Structure 1
Amino acid sequence: MTRILLIGAPIAVAVSVWFGGDGEPQRPKDDPSLRISRTAAAPDPLKAGTPEQQRELEERIDALPPGLADPAKKEIAARLVASAENSTLDWRSQYGVIEDIGDGNGYTAGIIGFCSGTNDMLQLVEHFTERHPGNPLARYLPALREVDGSDSHEGLGAPFEAAWAKAAQDPAFREAQDLMRDRIYFDPAVRLAKMDGLSTLGQFIYYDAMVLHGPGLGPQGFYGIREAAMAAADTAAEGGDEKAFLGAFLDAGRHVISRQKTEQTRDSSRIDTAQRVFLRQGNMDLQTPLEWRVYGETFRIDS
């Protein structure tokens, strides 16, 4: 994991496209107030557009085909991410996994790599504890708040690791992980990709980048990477070529990966020998069979 410190999960995202009456993405030529500003820093997605514009845009997005949110495609996405995060296609076996992989983010755990140093693990445990106060992880909330933003294990350690594994045996905690994965990463990424007029593959590329880099606004976060790509190519919703834009997005993400601290976090095979392969093949709907390589290991999904 190389994600930077989270700033919270942006559910309302930056307005960068408008949709016609038929629900098809169109370049917003007639209303420049809806266009995203091309500045060096990514805009705050929570402050773009009026509430009325946001509501209408959300309705338009809801009317679009499900894309990656289709259950079969979402399962493929989960397996693709698990191959990069945990070297397995069996993502459901990862709820109880917890370790420090030495990337500076403290503990990495669960189905999406919730990290003690990047706020998403804290969000998860707070959410779970609100609904299930007596859970094994509740006593560690003060420590999680203290270590948030660092790689420290202070107040956690082996007892916390055991508590995580015990909590993962509870279906309610597994459900909480699913919910927070969707709330922090999957839903914002897919909805923003639809706003940008992207295919199912493009939606997955956004989702994977959101998981890897976190929903940060800086140059190393997801929104900063998207802004760098938009400076290099128009999105499909702006009338650009989707493959060209996704190539620029992958270039921007790979640049961030190349500047990471360790050899492990600098590995860009999830881009080079997975996502670029699908893009070169023109597999914009993520049709199976899919075959790719991550960390030198070959994976395949037949159906």
Structure 2
Amino acid sequence: MRIRRRTLALGGGIAVLLCVPLGISVAASANNDVLISRDRAAIASSVRGADWVAGKATDADSSSRWASTDGPGTQWVRIDLGAVQAVDRVRMRWDQTYAKSYRVQTSLDGSNWNDVYVTRSGDGGTDDLKRLGGSGRYVRLLATQRGRERGGYSLFEIKAYGPRATPLRAVTPASGSLAAGLDDGRKKETALELIASAENSTLSWREQYAYIEDLGDGRGYTAGIVGFCSGTSDMLDVVNEYNRRKPGNVLSAYLPALRTVDGSDSHAGLDPGFTAAWKEAARDPIFQKVQEDERDWMYFDPAMRMARADGLRALGQFAYFDAAVMHGVSGLRGIRAEALRESKAPALGGDEITYLNAFLDARTDEMRTEEAHRDTTRVDTAQRQFLRRSNLDLTGPLTWKVYGDSYRIAAD
């Protein structure tokens, strides 16, 4: 059971320790605590400007501070301790723009995080958190909900303490585009590999242009890099666009049949030559580019617009994208509407982790309404696992399972 303490300075240099509920107050001596975060490398999810970078919260100047960009939503500041160390205490002194809901976390790799303290009732001032019992190379403050209606988050200082200054062991640091969303090229590549693991049982999504089969799910033929289906209009859109860019291509003759079977699982007019024609077209760079452009136009771009409007970081953006691929954009809207009935999106002042849990609950409920999608592991053992590890930015290394198969994306 965690005890939250705030240290308030009184006259004559006396300090009093106030314990905010969650259990019985037991004062802990800090005599053996060693400051292990001073001047360590620090980064943040965002900064208001050059005068408010993350290092301002870890330097020796008590008047300097880190400040995020304004607006609701999740922000974080992360300290690299240089090697894995025990973290027993974290002390934070907030500016006026404080977090109502936040987590103090530790991590071995900068990707997978463990909570050592969680609160939804932060009130600013100074938070002196003791007996945390954490360890890691990285310490992070993850602020998920603002305490004030305006501004973002700002800290004069965040200090981590441990029982010793000697590192326990060295590890390879995480790297990559950390705070970027899926509009970053590398992060988008990660999202496409995650999609491919569920759609094609591989990370090599560029090898799937020629993929085509009938999965017996009532959607007719499923093909290509995100499973365009002859029964759900998107395959027809792909072939229409290919014909616009390259009239008379090998798939053009099948357009009348694709129009006829749209909305059904029928192969009428497609067999026996359509699958061979699709595979032949897949060798054409023009058709490959059509598949990529149609994927983005139909699924990725609309999902990103909704996710950005809701204030979601990379994991939430991917969750929307994956839902759009499986259920269509209209299905994504329905799942989102259900989640919003249970929780506020970050852009509306809600806690991002709470909202994403509601969204994934609504997603799995929707999947179970269709026999072909009743296996929800692409959510439960992938997206849900990233959320439990607080990896809201999809920072590598990533490990997950889909339909029993294990996958890994290394750190950049």
TM-score normalised by the chain length of structure 2 = 0.57
Structure scoring higher RCO (CA < 8 A, sep ≥ 6) equals: 1
Shift of 1:103: 0.7
The answer to whether the Cα contact below 8 Å between 1:202 and 1:246 also exists between their aligned partners in 2 is yes
Q: Which runs of 4+ in 1 moved over 2 A?
A: 22-27
**In the aligned structure 1, how far is the partner of 2:366 from the partner of 2:345?**
20
Q: 1:278 aligned to 2:392?
A: no
Pairing 1:89-238 to 2, within 5 Å after superposition = 89-216=203-330, 221-238=331-348
More helix by share: 1
Query: Could you say if the C-alpha distance between residues 25 and 270 of structure 1 is closer, same or farther in structure 2, counting changes exceeding 3 Å?
Result: farther
Which residue does the alignment assign to 1:4? Answer: none
The gaps in structure 2 that reach 5 residues or longer are 1-67, 74-178
**In the aligned structure 1, how far is the partner of 2:294 from the partner of 2:70?**
29
The answer to whether the Cα contact below 8 Å between 1:25 and 1:195 also exists between their aligned partners in 2 is no
Q: Identity percentage over the alignment?
A: 55
**In the aligned structure 2, how far is the partner of 1:80 from the partner of 1:158?**
32
Shift of 1:146: 0.5
Q: Secondary structure at the match of 1:299?
A: strand
Q: Secondary structure at the match of 2:371?
A: coil
- Measured on the aligned residues, the alpha-carbon RMSD in Å equals 1.5
Question: Highest CA radius of gyration, 1 or 2?
Answer: 2
**In the aligned structure 2, how far is the partner of 1:25 from the partner of 1:251?**
27
Which residue does the alignment assign to 2:188? Answer: 74
Shift of 1:158: 2.8
Which residue does the alignment assign to 1:35? Answer: none
The answer to whether the Cα contact below 8 Å between 1:98 and 1:161 also exists between their aligned partners in 2 is yes
The gaps in structure 1 that reach 5 residues or longer are 1-21, 28-64
Query: Could you say if the C-alpha distance between residues 259 and 26 of structure 1 is closer, same or farther in structure 2, counting changes exceeding 3 Å?
Result: same
Which residue does the alignment assign to 1:32? Answer: none
The answer to whether the Cα contact below 8 Å between 1:107 and 1:116 also exists between their aligned partners in 2 is yes
The answer to whether the Cα contact below 8 Å between 1:25 and 1:197 also exists between their aligned partners in 2 is no
More divergent stretch after superposition (159-168 vs 207-216): 207-216
Shift of 1:84: 0.5
**In the aligned structure 2, how far is the partner of 1:137 from the partner of 1:214?**
24
Residue from 266, 280, 285 that aligns with 2:374: 266
Query: Could you say if the C-alpha distance between residues 283 and 78 of structure 1 is closer, same or farther in structure 2, counting changes exceeding 3 Å?
Result: same
Q: How far does the alpha carbon of each residue in 1:72-113 deviate from its partner, in whole angstroms, 9 at most, with x for none?
A: 001100100000011101111100010000111110000010
Which residue does the alignment assign to 1:12? Answer: none
Shift of 1:241: 0.4
Q: 1:247 aligned to 2:357?
A: yes
Shift of 1:23: 7.9
Shift of 1:261: 2.1
TM-score normalised by the chain length of structure 1 = 0.77
**In the aligned structure 1, how far is the partner of 2:387 from the partner of 2:272?**
42
